[in-house]
Structure 1
């Protein structure tokens, strides 16, 4: 008995020593970062353990306005410091501070807050780091080849036609919120192109999947802002853990069922490069390519690997694009003179025809592309993203120690008056070739930049062109909200609090 008690006591001593050692290392690291970052301007007084967390607003809209307010207040500050719990974050919103991070292969790890995406997206292309990210990026890049994107164009045209039919029900009538219409169209497109499955979301507007994507984004964003919910046990027992798990089950059940279905029925029958019995080439889907992709050693992706990438592409490939199109619709509806210029360009390309859009047409829609880029400048779909500094470095003359998280505030970066005079004005001409020559490439990064830029940006721009062109060929848009009414909130994706309200007038060809 005495021997057993002695062993327990010894074990308790060892455990206490381990806890003390870990605590000492963590505390020493925090003190080191606190000392190194002391010269950096701060948003206010940081308290032990909580940092600035108590000063930050809790609602998504108020929090986003508060952060953007800080960047306005400290527009000329070289860097801006915020402590969330024991972790320091640096806000970067100048091209010269963003470039050293995004253009450096050493600082490619996503920030600590991305770990809260892992239960949903695993460690796919968005959230993975190090060698896994490098090998996965190399493996997936060929799946976004322009020839494959051309196959997706047919799907985009078909779903755009469905959308136009849906919007036609509102033409000449009272104002309506178009946000869900655009989102469901984007979901139909991504499901068919990513997974080869039609889900008819535009015909079923109460999509459980869409609701779960939005709710999951909100839950993750709220958790990121509240350090006391960072530990898993605290989040699951005292936070929104139960609802998080419910949404997670819906999201994973959906993708799992499609993957299994494609493995059993779609993949084995796929004729990716040959003609089918009907004389028409079978459509390739992103999932089909994942199922047959192999690495340099001939190894296929595991089922878990495939689900990670499908979940990632489903989230990033519909939510961000849908938001971008909705913001563009508002801006076009609020600026009829710019809308008329786009419609004139469309008439020059299509005349009075209602034929589908082909790849050559897309190349000719240069002014529409400028409109899309300017809309993404004012309302970037991803308003901020974060990285971890992986070794001691200097940014704009300040020492930044290893382990610090930096938040790149795309929304504020795109409003730098040095590069975009009168930044709140909607001026698509900013992106004409003669006006972009010589502009710092890191002052405008709606799809990030550097090695970890968005692999799907050509897909997104193609989709936005097809959908917006289809709408503007059929309707005149009038926005029913002023800029102040929009109240954007930046969870994982930038959205307006009350949607996008418009009226439509049918155009006569």
Structure 2
């Protein structure tokens, strides 16, 4: 009798789930793809394997979406994920669905309610506060920070001329030094200390997050806390949070000391600080409490370091493989800056049109964030005619959208920076390396300025060459290069560590 009751409960539950998901199943049948789906786990097994295997799976799904007119789909456990590689549909999803993927709340242990992954009611007011801090005026003041830290990197690379080097660790250290100085207002000197506890904890945390993100059965906290790796994960979050807490405390004490000084000294010091305040100091002025400060600083550091470093590193590799592009860029730098060692000035940035085009073209082919996910909360119809239903995950496949020949032409797979000098995008959402819409990356201009500074200084000082095909004289023939091998490790990275060889320019 008991077994019959259990069987009846199971049958009723199964019928209820089938009925509740009837609209999802209808949508799944419409956007079915050719990738094998297994019972219960759906397409999850395709993401098991190495970091390169994960990226290959993501690319195959993206190409499938392109083949099917920009729309595909598949089940990930009990969640239907629709994959979008059409900018018209993507724009509508970004406009209507502001809630990010549920699985991303695994970052709450470290980032709490930081604006990047926060729920919409928390994200909206915080975004309004953060956005003005990244104004063009502030970025111009931070240009000196980018220049000084990139010159520090150049000094270290000068000793490595004539040998293959992995640019990743040098550009990552540069990015972290720059972001920590602009956000926290302190000089970390990561470039002279590759074993800095904050850097090591940062790298370990990232690896553990992506490992968990790719294993959806580890999403529930009660499951993850039973895993042996949780103790290591908790240690990394504690190191990162404690470091930022101490910086906030030191800033609070400094501000308190200023208030205790006499008025004349206070005004003088305040005027000095106003010339270039860090993001932390600006948020303290606004009245953020310590928890909010910690969350926002960690978001800025984690997001700002990786995206800028990956974008600049990919750009350097592409320049090493396309010498005619590098030569043209060098000519532009000489025209704008002259044959001198003077640092970049704010007025130089708008004149470096080809440099900007080179970076944009690199980000088109190798966007650091290859896909973003938005959760559908209400029913609506896309321009393509597909109807999205609640509790579906809409995957905006940035990598695939950037290579969709319908919007980029038959040479969509080719590296051709000149396409960004033509300014003839068929749709503004066809290019979104920093996401799109009201919830795009608030630090897009910051990242571009940082990347332009470091690439300009690299090309002024060095000739970038491929590590294995180094030539001694003449110019490299324009030959079709193979796509770079990439992997997915919280962001998209180069499998070979962004390896290049450098020669000092005479």
Relative to the length of structure 2, the TM-score reads: 0.88
Offset of residue 163 of structure 1: 0.9
Indicate if the aligned counterparts of 1:151 and 1:284 stay in contact, CA closer than 8 A.
Answer: no
Match among 204, 215, 220 for residue 226 of structure 1: 215
Superposition pairs for residues 101-500 of structure 1, below 5 Å? 101-102=93-94, 104=95, 106-171=96-161, 173-238=162-227, 240-265=229-254, 269=258, 276=269, 282-293=275-286, 300-395=287-382, 396-421=384-409, 422-432=411-421, 435-480=422-467, 486-500=484-498
Structure 2 unaligned spans of 5+: 1-9, 470-480
Aligned to 1:100: 92
User: Matched residue of 1:468: which SS?
Assistant: helix
Q: Which moved more, 1:409-418 or 1:69-78?
A: 69-78
Indicate if the aligned counterparts of 1:56 and 1:63 stay in contact, CA closer than 8 A.
Answer: yes
Distance in 1 of aligned mates of 2:237 and 2:15:
36
Offset of residue 484 of structure 1: 5.3
Deviations 1:41-88 (A, max 9, x none): 135454444222234332211011122123224422142112111111
Distance in 2 of aligned mates of 1:208 and 1:425:
40
Q: Evaluate the alpha carbon distance shift between residue 283 and residue 502 of structure 1 in structure 2; reply closer, same or farther with a 3 A threshold.
A: same
Distance in 2 of aligned mates of 1:148 and 1:180:
27
Deviations 1:366-417 (A, max 9, x none): 1101111111111111111111112012232222211111111111111111
Matched residue count: 479
Indicate if the aligned counterparts of 1:90 and 1:405 stay in contact, CA closer than 8 A.
Answer: yes
Aligned to 1:503: 501
Distance in 2 of aligned mates of 1:440 and 1:414:
11
Superposition pairs for residues 36-47 of structure 1, below 5 Å? 36-47=27-38
User: Matched residue of 1:222: which SS?
Assistant: helix
Distance in 1 of aligned mates of 2:29 and 2:258:
62
Aligned to 2:472: none
Offset of residue 275 of structure 1: 5.3
Q: Evaluate the alpha carbon distance shift between residue 363 and residue 252 of structure 1 in structure 2; reply closer, same or farther with a 3 A threshold.
A: same
Aligned to 1:296: none
Match among 81, 84, 93 for residue 89 of structure 1: 81
Aligned to 1:8: none
Deviations 1:120-147 (A, max 9, x none): 2112111112222111111222211222
User: Matched residue of 1:458: which SS?
Assistant: helix
Distance in 1 of aligned mates of 2:393 and 2:454:
37
Offset of residue 495 of structure 1: 0.9
Distance in 1 of aligned mates of 2:17 and 2:294:
35
Relative to the length of structure 1, the TM-score reads: 0.88
Q: Evaluate the alpha carbon distance shift between residue 168 and residue 404 of structure 1 in structure 2; reply closer, same or farther with a 3 A threshold.
A: same
Distance in 2 of aligned mates of 1:30 and 1:265:
57
Indicate if the aligned counterparts of 1:481 and 1:501 stay in contact, CA closer than 8 A.
Answer: no
Indicate if the aligned counterparts of 2:65 and 2:85 stay in contact, CA closer than 8 A.
Answer: no
User: Matched residue of 1:357: which SS?
Assistant: coil
Q: Evaluate the alpha carbon distance shift between residue 239 and residue 59 of structure 1 in structure 2; reply closer, same or farther with a 3 A threshold.
A: farther
Aligned to 2:62: 71
What do you get for the CA RMSD once the two structures are aligned? 2.7
